Amino acid sequence: MNEWLVGAAAAFVVLAATVAVLTRDPARQAVVLSVLGLGLAILFAVLQAPDVALSQLAVGTALTPLLILLTVRKITRHPTRANGDADGHGSTEGQEQG
């Protein structure tokens, strides 16, 4: 039974890691990385390493994907409007300066 659980957890980790590598969108990669971290935590728990599993659960499943998502949100450029900048004020080109 234990060998079956180790094999299933290892197969899940390999599948999740492959999906993480093949995913192109950084936000989706963060979600897949969270799933991968969960799979690794389960694998460590099955291999009777609960301290490593808890660390992986905290860092690999929650903290690292959260930091990646916040970074992606911070650096993502938002499209501007056709007639002006993003805050809606418009440009001053062609207007009289008085």
DSSP letter for each residue of 28-95: HHHHHHHHHHHHHHHHHHHTT-HHHHHHHIIIIIIIHHHHHHHHHHHHPPPPPPTTS-TTS----TTP
Q: Quick check: 40 and 6 in contact, CB under 8 A?
A: no
pTM above 0.85, yes or no: no
**How does pLDDT run across 28-60, given as a tens digit for each residue?**
999 999 999 999 999 999 999 999 999 999 998
pLDDT category of residue 77 using cuts at 50, 70 and 90: confident
What's residue 76's pLDDT? 84
